[in-house]
């Protein structure tokens, strides 16, 4: 027997240890992972914040550079020179330089600046007079300064930055919003986002004369900063109206400027970021947003110091996906999982080893016990020396085994004794000459012995498939069942009865049945013990004896009666005859005497028959060859004096003419009786009467038959044909009633069979002699 692994202690141990270890590893791992993730996240956010703060001054410096360029330019001599010359009919009162000259000088300064600052698109000196007409303008065309001719200068009075700049105090610098460059009032194509830095020019009296304007390409200015920094995040540089430059870390510093307000070429995620930053109320902060279906961290800083106007600022936002924050943790997580798996494997192995250590003594013990099965030796090799629970178990088991062994030994001995006595019982039963059986409560044969089988003609198996009721002769069943019930009810403890059984071959046997009931310890009936003795022979002998007895009684009764009756009659008749004679009644006297004579004749005949019978019964006779024909002829001669002999026709057909070996007196008695009966009981009312005597062979038999057309035997009397003192013919007063009886007895003695053959008219008697009974027996 193998325990399924899943049920074994080994499995349970491994399973629970593994479960506990795994659970604690997972729980603690998850806890520390979360803690570390949080801490790491915080560090990352802090780092992002400081990065943002570092970026901001870099950009501020780009603006400061522009501021200082403006400031330097405003202090160059041509600026005030042009103020003075313009107010003095285009001649400088100080050095008589013409306005034209000053303009030329300024243009060359502008050109020099443009050559050094590729981000500057144009440098202009714009006067308030004449509708804000440009005084000097140098354009940057592909990195080279181009001085704009006098006639191409434009009036900028309507431009927003122009109007905004009118309120500037001396020395103040104004940066315009980023906008597309416009030339002659039209947006220049391709679009060029520009920012304008403006410083006012006042005359010595403090009245505003004009302004210096630098148009700088916004992108270029910022990129100059970006070139200097290496960031690993997406960077947005956003102004207060939302226009921004986006630097994507994976696009190789390829910054892109987007007019947020124009919503041109702007992607949604960027717009999200920008809106978040714009709407943030604090100057600096960390935002956690979901952008582009990714969780991101936005760290922003709004720098307001760049611009004079507090409402304007430049915001820097670093965007980092949250996953990147905890990337190291994720790696650590993978490692942790690996460690956990390894730990579990190690645990399983350890648990297995531990389980083996624990289980092995148990297994060994089990093996010992199993191997010991069916062995009578004392049980050894159990780990009783162990000091742990297994040792204790082994010791307990060992003690228990000892006790059981002892008990088993006792039981074994008892069983042996039982088997022995059972064997004795069986053989006593089996070889008993008397039929014996164990019979179930419903009558089924449980166990039967050979004698019973033989008695009933069934095999043991056949008997066991039937019951005693089936085999009991119908008339005897009810009494048997009654007794059985009494036995079951405890009214009797045993019973005996004579009953008949029906054999397998259909024959009936007589049995002397003795039955007792076996009960169990609780007194409940268990089964019957039946003993059946075949008493058929005894019964038969008894029956024969009874028959003989009856016959003897009948004989004595009939002889006493039949002997007395004719005597009584005769006495009466003789007395009557005497009286009649005295009265002179001759006729009556004669009748009386005649009747008396008949009676006495009858008496004589009876006496003769009785004597014959007595003689026959006691006679011992040797067999001898006898000729039936001779017997018949002699009988016919003998009976010629009988009444009415002459009216009979005798037909002789004696085909069998051999001698038969038999007891002559017996055969003679039968032949004479049959012929004399045929003569006596002829039917005198018939015209012709005949007696036919035949002998012939019929197979293995020789038949002697006497046939007549006489009175015959009434149908209802034929069964009593061969009984003593049976007469069938009331009017025919002769006949002792012993003739047929004697014939039957004689036929029995010579091994033949005499029968009456029913026929319509008269009677036919046949004597059947089996040939083997009439052969000469030489050996005997």
Partner 1 sequence: MMHSKGKTMEIRKAMIVDDSESDQFLASNEIKRHDDNIEIMQAYDGVEALEMLAETDEKPDVIFLDINMPRMNGLEFLEEYSKLEDQSPVIAMLTSSNAQTDRERALKFDCVRDYFLKLLDESDMAKLKDL
Q: Which residues bind partner 1 (CB under 8 A)?
A: 557-558, 561-562, 564-566, 568-573, 576, 591-592, 595-596, 598-599, 714, 717, 725-731, 733, 737
When the beta carbons of 465 and 556 are compared against partner 1, the nearer one is 556
DSSP, collapsed to helix, strand or coil, labels residue 725 as coil
Q: Phi then psi for 303, rounded to 5 degrees?
A: -95, 110
When the beta carbons of 403 and 561 are compared against partner 1, the nearer one is 561
Task: For the CB of residue 723, give the shortest distance to partner 1 in the complex, in Å.
Answer: 12
Strand ranges in 248-310 using DSSP code E only, listed in sequence order:
256-258, 284-291, 294-303
When the beta carbons of 438 and 574 are compared against partner 1, the nearer one is 574
When the beta carbons of 558 and 664 are compared against partner 1, the nearer one is 558
Task: For the CB of residue 714, give the shortest distance to partner 1 in the complex, in Å.
Answer: 6
Task: For the CB of residue 635, give the shortest distance to partner 1 in the complex, in Å.
Answer: 25
DSSP, collapsed to helix, strand or coil, labels residue 756 as strand
Strand partners, 758: none
When the beta carbons of 37 and 565 are compared against partner 1, the nearer one is 565
CA distance 63 to 214: 12
When the beta carbons of 36 and 563 are compared against partner 1, the nearer one is 563
What secondary structure letter does DSSP report for 148?
Answer: P
CB neighbour class for 87 (10 Å; exposed up to 12, middle 13-18, buried from 19): middle
CB 309 within 8 A of CB 296: no
When the beta carbons of 448 and 743 are compared against partner 1, the nearer one is 743
CA distance 360 to 763: 106
CB 690 within 8 A of CB 675: no
What secondary structure letter does DSSP report for 327?
Answer: H
Range 569-578 burial, b when 16+ CB lie within 10 A, else e: bbeebbebbe
CB 176 within 8 A of CB 164: yes
Q: Following DSSP, what letter does each residue of 382-446 receive, concatenated?
A: --TT--SHHHHHHHHHHHHHHHHHHHHHHHHHHHHHHHHHHHHHHHHHHT-SSEEEEE-TTSBEE
Task: For the CB of residue 711, give the shortest distance to partner 1 in the complex, in Å.
Answer: 11
When the beta carbons of 576 and 722 are compared against partner 1, the nearer one is 576
Task: For the CB of residue 648, give the shortest distance to partner 1 in the complex, in Å.
Answer: 22
CB neighbour class for 206 (10 Å; exposed up to 12, middle 13-18, buried from 19): exposed
Long-range contacts of 564-571 (CB under 8 A, 24+ apart): 566/599, 566/600, 566/602, 566/603, 566/606, 567/599, 567/603, 569/595, 569/596, 569/599, 570/596, 570/599, 570/600, 570/603
When the beta carbons of 110 and 728 are compared against partner 1, the nearer one is 728
Task: For the CB of residue 758, give the shortest distance to partner 1 in the complex, in Å.
Answer: 17
When the beta carbons of 583 and 615 are compared against partner 1, the nearer one is 583
Query: In the chain, helix, strand, coil percent, each to 5?
Result: 50, 25, 25
When the beta carbons of 296 and 573 are compared against partner 1, the nearer one is 573
Closest CA to 143 of 114, 163, 184: 114
Task: For the CB of residue 555, give the shortest distance to partner 1 in the complex, in Å.
Answer: 13
CB neighbour class for 7 (10 Å; exposed up to 12, middle 13-18, buried from 19): exposed
Task: For the CB of residue 727, give the shortest distance to partner 1 in the complex, in Å.
Answer: 4
Task: For the CB of residue 743, give the shortest distance to partner 1 in the complex, in Å.
Answer: 17
Task: For the CB of residue 742, give the shortest distance to partner 1 in the complex, in Å.
Answer: 17
When the beta carbons of 70 and 596 are compared against partner 1, the nearer one is 596
Task: For the CB of residue 609, give the shortest distance to partner 1 in the complex, in Å.
Answer: 16
Task: For the CB of residue 614, give the shortest distance to partner 1 in the complex, in Å.
Answer: 21
Task: For the CB of residue 752, give the shortest distance to partner 1 in the complex, in Å.
Answer: 27
Q: Phi then psi for 339, rounded to 5 degrees?
A: -65, -40
CA distance 710 to 682: 4
> Which conformational region is residue 506 in: left (phi greater than 0), alpha (psi within -120 to 50 degrees), or beta?
left
User: Residue 661 belongs to what H/E stretch?
Assistant: strand 659-662
Residue count of the chain, please give it. 780
Strand ranges in 487-559 using DSSP code E only, listed in sequence order:
494-502, 508-519, 525-534
When the beta carbons of 127 and 739 are compared against partner 1, the nearer one is 739
Task: For the CB of residue 580, give the shortest distance to partner 1 in the complex, in Å.
Answer: 9
Task: For the CB of residue 604, give the shortest distance to partner 1 in the complex, in Å.
Answer: 14
Vertex 745 angle, CA 739 and 747, to 5°:
100
DSSP, collapsed to helix, strand or coil, labels residue 510 as strand
Helix axes 628-638, 664-680, angle to 10 degrees: 40
Task: For the CB of residue 721, give the shortest distance to partner 1 in the complex, in Å.
Answer: 13
CB neighbour class for 700 (10 Å; exposed up to 12, middle 13-18, buried from 19): exposed
When the beta carbons of 167 and 597 are compared against partner 1, the nearer one is 597
* Pairing of the two strands 689-698 and 648-654: parallel
CA distance 51 to 503: 122
DSSP, collapsed to helix, strand or coil, labels residue 492 as coil
DSSP, collapsed to helix, strand or coil, labels residue 1 as coil
Task: For the CB of residue 685, give the shortest distance to partner 1 in the complex, in Å.
Answer: 16
When the beta carbons of 576 and 765 are compared against partner 1, the nearer one is 576
When the beta carbons of 19 and 571 are compared against partner 1, the nearer one is 571
When the beta carbons of 29 and 572 are compared against partner 1, the nearer one is 572
């Amino acid at each position: 027997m193998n325990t399924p692994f899943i049920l074994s202690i080994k499995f349970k141990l491994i399973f629970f240890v593994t479960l506990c270890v795994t659970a604690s590893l997972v729980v603690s791992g998850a806890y520390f992972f979360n803690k570390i993730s949080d801490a790491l996240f915080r560090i990352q956010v802090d780092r992002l914040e400081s990065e943002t703060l570092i970026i901001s001054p870099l950009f501020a410096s780009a603006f400061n550079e522009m501021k200082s360029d403006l400031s330097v330019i405003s202090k160059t001599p041509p600026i005030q020179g042009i103020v003075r010359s313009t107010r003095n009919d285009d001649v400088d009162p100080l050095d008589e330089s013409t306005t034209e000259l000053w303009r030329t000088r300024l243009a060359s300064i502008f050109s020099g600046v443009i050559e050094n600052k590729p981000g500057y698109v144009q440098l202009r000196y714009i006067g308030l007079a004449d509708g804000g007409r440009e005084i000097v303008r140098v354009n940057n065309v592909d990195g080279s300064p181009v001085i704009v001719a006098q006639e191409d200068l434009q009036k900028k009075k309507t431009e927003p930055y122009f109007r905004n700049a009118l309120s500037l105090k001396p020395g103040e610098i104004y940066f315009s919003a980023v906008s597309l460059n416009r030339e002659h009032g039209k947006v220049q194509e391709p679009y060029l986002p520009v920012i304008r830095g403006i410083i006012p020019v006042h005359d010595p009296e403090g009245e505003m004369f004009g302004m210096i304007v630098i148009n700088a390409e916004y992108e270029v200015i910022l990129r100059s900063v970006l070139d200097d920094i290496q960031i690993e995040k997406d960077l947005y540089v956003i102004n207060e109206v939302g226009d921004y430059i986006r630097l994507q870390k994976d696009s190789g510093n390829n910054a892109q400027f987007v007019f947020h307000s124009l919503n041109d070429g702007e992607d949604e995620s960027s717009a999200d970021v920008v809106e978040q930053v714009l709407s943030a109320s604090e100057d600096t902060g960390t935002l956690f947003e979901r952008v582009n279906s990714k969780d991101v961290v936005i760290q922003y800083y709004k720098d307001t110091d760049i611009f004079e106007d507090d409402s304007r600022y430049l915001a820097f936002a670093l965007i980092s996906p949250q996953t990147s924050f905890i990337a190291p943790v994720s790696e650590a997580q993978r490692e942790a999982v690996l460690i956990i798996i390894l730990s579990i494997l190690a645990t399983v192995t350890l648990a297995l080893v531990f389980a083996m250590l624990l289980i092995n003594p148990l297994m060994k013990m089990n093996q010992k016990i199993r191997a010991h099965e069916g062995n009578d030796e004392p049980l050894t090799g159990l780990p009783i020396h162990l000091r742990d629970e297994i040792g204790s178990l082994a010791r307990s088991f060992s003690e228990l085994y000892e006790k059981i062994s002892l008990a088993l030994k006792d039981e074994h001995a008892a069983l042996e004794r039982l088997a022995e006595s059972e064997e004795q019982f069986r053989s006593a039963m089996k070889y008993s000459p008397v039929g014996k059986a164990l019979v179930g409560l419903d009558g089924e044969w449980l166990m039967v012995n050979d004698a019973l089988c033989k008695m009933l003609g069934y095999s043991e198996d056949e008997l066991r498939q039937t019951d005693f009721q089936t085999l009991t002769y119908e008339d005897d069943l009810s009494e048997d069942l009654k007794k059985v019930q009494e036995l079951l009810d405890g009214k009797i403890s045993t019973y005996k009865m004579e009953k008949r059984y029906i054999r397998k071959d259909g024959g009936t046997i007589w049995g002397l049945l003795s039955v007792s009931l076996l009960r169990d310890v609780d007194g409940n009936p268990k089964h019957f013990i039946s003993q059946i003795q075949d008493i058929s022979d005894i019964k038969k002998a008894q029956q024969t004896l009874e028959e003989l007895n009856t016959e003897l009684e009948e004989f004595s009764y009939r002889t006493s009666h039949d002997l007395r009756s004719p005597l009584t009659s005769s006495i009466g008749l003789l007395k009557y005859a005497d009286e009649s004679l005295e009265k002179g009644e001759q006729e009556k006297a004669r009748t009386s005497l005649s009747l008396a004579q008949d009676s006495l004749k009858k008496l004589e005949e009876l006496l003769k028959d009785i004597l014959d019978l007595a003689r026959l019964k006691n006679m011992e006779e040797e067999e001898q060859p006898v000729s039936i024909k001779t017997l018949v002829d002699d009988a016919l001669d003998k009976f010629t004096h009988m009444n009415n002999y002459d009216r009979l026709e005798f037909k002789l057909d004696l085909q069998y003419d051999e001698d038969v070996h038999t007891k002559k007196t017996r055969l003679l008695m039968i032949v004479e009786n049959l012929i004399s009966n045929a003569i006596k009981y002829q039917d005198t009312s018939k015209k012709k009467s005949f007696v036919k005597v035949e002998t012939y062979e019929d197979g293995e038999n020789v038949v002697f038959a006497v046939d007549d057309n006489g009175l015959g035997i009434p149908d209802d009397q034929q069964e009593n044909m061969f009984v003593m003192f049976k007469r069938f013919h009331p009017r025919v007063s002769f006949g002792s009633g012993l003739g047929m009886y004697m014939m039957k007895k004689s036929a029995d003695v010579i091994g033949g069979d005499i029968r009456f053959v029913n026929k319509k008219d008269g009677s036919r008697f046949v004597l059947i002699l089996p040939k083997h009974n009439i052969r000469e027996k030489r050996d005997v």
